[in-house]
Structure 1
């Protein structure tokens, strides 16, 4: 909870704060997130306005996850910017506030929902260890970055696997109209110079 009593509800008054807070659980998406309890560094500016307190800030969060292509572990740091208005519950605007608007409770602000929205919406659904990560070989699972671009497997199409054993038992058939004993249609009979039809 963030205490706003120092602003004394005077519109135009402001205060800056730097805080370090532990990350809550389930603070991430499927392949990358903030480890539970890791320090989230907050750089905040609180401004009193008529309706409530406007909070503007940046959250610096440590990320851990795995690459979506090669499954290698990823660790990095990420900055998420946010701005949110927390309305006073005892004012006209606060009394008519929608359910999705945030309210101050006893001049205290709960920043967790704001941080979740700012961080989770900005996280990549398919994080990469590097932009040009080649991923894993689909046949043997080895990291393609380790084996190089010449890595490949001689694999036959499984749909033709049942026919592979028959290839040696059957003699090739000459194509139709090839060099056989029959003469092609429309050939000239050289005995009388007439064309057969």
Structure 2
């Protein structure tokens, strides 16, 4: 058994468009490597700084995430699962293992699809883009487009009535 405590640089493409691990940031690995009959069992944690944007209000999000890792790396020539395409297989090649895909998988699968800065985030106004968290009472008078023609007709009637009133006042003088 061997214990591995290291800080390594994170790869650049861990995450999705809104959230992920910053490329080049530090990734803390606290792993235990154990020799077993089939290969090397790797278990432990990887801690990464997650950064991104809220999917509702686009405010920055940052937090530390600790991913649990437990994966078996099979020795070369092992025929345990070679024919099973459904099982992810990792191999010991020339007495070396590549931990990168395991760490990447553990972190990416835990990232939220739609990250939010807080559960009750109100997001942005769909009309003007104002952050509704700063102004929860913000609103626009939105007229149903089906009633728009009637509203225009009401404006015309109001204008005609105003014009009639001014012409009546002129006639009285």
TM-score band, normalised by the shorter chain? 0.7 to 0.9
The total of aligned residue pairs comes to 155
The alpha-carbon deviation at position 111 of structure 1 amounts to 0.5
Considering only CA atoms, is the larger Rg found in Structure 1 or Structure 2? 1
Aligned alpha-carbon RMSD (Å): 1.9
Question: Any stretches of 5+ residues in structure 1 without a counterpart?
Answer: 1-13, 171-197
Moved over 6 A (4+): none
| 1:76 equivalent in alignment to 2:63 | yes
| 1:108 equivalent in alignment to 2:122 | no
Kindly indicate whether the alpha-carbon contact (under 8 Å) linking 1:30 and 1:125 is maintained by their aligned counterparts in 2: no
Q: Which residue of 1 aligns with 2:108?
A: 120
What aligned pairs does 1:1-197 form with structure 2 within 5 A after superposition?
14-91=1-78, 93=80, 96=82, 98=84, 100-148=88-136, 150-167=137-154, 169=157
Instruction: Name the TM-score, length of structure 1 as normaliser.
Output: 0.73
User: Residues 48 and 97 of structure 1: is their aligned pair in 2 closer, same or farther, counting only changes over 3 Å?
Assistant: farther
Instruction: For residue 144 of structure 1, give the secondary structure of its aligned residue in structure 2.
Output: coil
Q: C-alpha separation between the residues in 2 aligned to 1:128 and 1:82?
A: 25
Q: C-alpha separation between the residues in 1 aligned to 2:134 and 2:116?
A: 16
The alpha-carbon deviation at position 81 of structure 1 amounts to 0.6
The alpha-carbon deviation at position 163 of structure 1 amounts to 2.2
Instruction: For residue 42 of structure 1, give the secondary structure of its aligned residue in structure 2.
Output: strand
The alpha-carbon deviation at position 30 of structure 1 amounts to 1.9
Q: C-alpha separation between the residues in 1 aligned to 2:79 and 2:50?
A: 41
